[in-house]
Amino acid sequence: MTTTHDDHNPIENQWCPGCPNYGILRALERALVTLGRAPHEVCLVSGIGQAAKLPHYLRCHAWNGLHGRAIPAAIGIHVANPALTTIVTSGDGDLYGEGGNHLLHAFRRNPDITVIVHDNRIYALTKGQASPTTPRGEPTRLQFDGVEIEPAQILATAVVHGCTFVARGFAGDLEGLSILLARAIAHPGLSFVDVIQPCITWGQHPLAWYRERVVPVPADHDATDRGAAVSLALDTPDRFPVGVLYEVAARPVFAESYRARVGDGPLARLPRTERAAIDARLAAFVVNKD
């Protein structure tokens, strides 16, 4: 039977009571159960921040590493063992700021992983400084007179760079988010979901403010139309279209040709001859062995 619940996890939850991060945690758990992924088949990967603590609270494999470095770790994990369902779950500061470079190139590389961004539009763990998605003019705990620059348009950037599944979710909608996450995880290739996750401690707006501004992606939106997806992705201050913005047939996934050569199993179980070949290449690559 598939259970991924946190009840068996001895780690005490550090999030504020009522934080919408709990909504993402529950939605992800529900999505994994819906898809029938057992705990040992899932690896959650994160960097640093409030959001990045999520892997502590689900019973499955986890890698919680350096600030901004979740994406390369997740790609490595998935390439080493494609049987794992590898999911990055981290914050806007972590994935758009510190790790923005990695995310940009992941859109191009198309590894078969899912990236879930808890987008609270601030650095919450460090008490509310501006992040790449803080709206222009919004005051924060550090930018007292308001942020001076426009926010980064990451969803549009994802579409432009060939990400084949781009969606926005809302942490205040457990049912809708769990369905969206299940769809994202099932999508072959990189699937990217920006989840609106208001920080109720350091953020400028309560959950209710966002609830009023969340709208479904229009029923007549053609999610295979790149131009329409970019238009929909471009943020406006007063509305957040939630749902799948862009979804097209997967293009070749990262390391596909390598996998075609060595098979689908974990690298650790490769025949000795193949491992010896990898060791030989690494040895040739390492110039300074001291």
Tell me if 204 contacts ligand SF4 by CB under 6 A: no
Encoded one letter per residue, x for contact with Mg ion by CB under 5 A and - for no contact, window 82-101 reads: ---------xxx--------
Residue 164: CB minimum distance to ligand TPP, A: 25
Residue 261: CB minimum distance to ligand TPP, A: 36
Tell me if 16 contacts ligand SF4 by CB under 6 A: yes
Residue 101: CB minimum distance to ligand SF4, A: 24
Tell me if 201 contacts ligand SF4 by CB under 6 A: yes
Residue 48 binding result from ligand TPP, ligand SF4, Mg ion, none, given CB thresholds of 5 to 8 Å by partner type: ligand TPP
Three-state secondary structure readout of the chain: CCCCCHHHCCCCCCCCCCCCHHHHHHHHHHHHHHHCCCHHHEEEEECCCCHHHHHHHCCCEEEECCCCCHHHHHHHHHHHCCCCEEEEEEEHHHHHHHCHHHHHHHHHHCCCCEEEEEECCEECCCCCEECCCCCCCCCCCCCCCCCCCCCCCHHHHHHHCCCCEEEEEECCCHHHHHHHHHHHHHCCCCEEEEEECCCCCCCCCCHHHHHHHEEECCCCCCCCCHHHHHHHHCCECCEEEEEEEEECCCCCCCCHHHHHHHCCCCHHHCCHHHHHHHHHHHHHHCCCCC
Closer to ligand SF4 by CB, 4 or 21: give it: 21
Binding to Mg ion (CB under 5 A) within 110-169 occurs at 120, 124
Closer to Mg ion by CB, 93 or 198: give it: 93
Tell me if 94 contacts ligand TPP by CB under 6 A: yes
20, 23, 49, 241: which one binds ligand TPP (CB under 6 A)? 49
Encoded one letter per residue, x for contact with ligand SF4 by CB under 6 A and - for no contact, window 40-59 reads: ----------x---------
Tell me if 134 contacts ligand TPP by CB under 6 A: no
> Which residues sit at the interface with Mg ion, rule CB under 5 A?
91-93, 120, 124
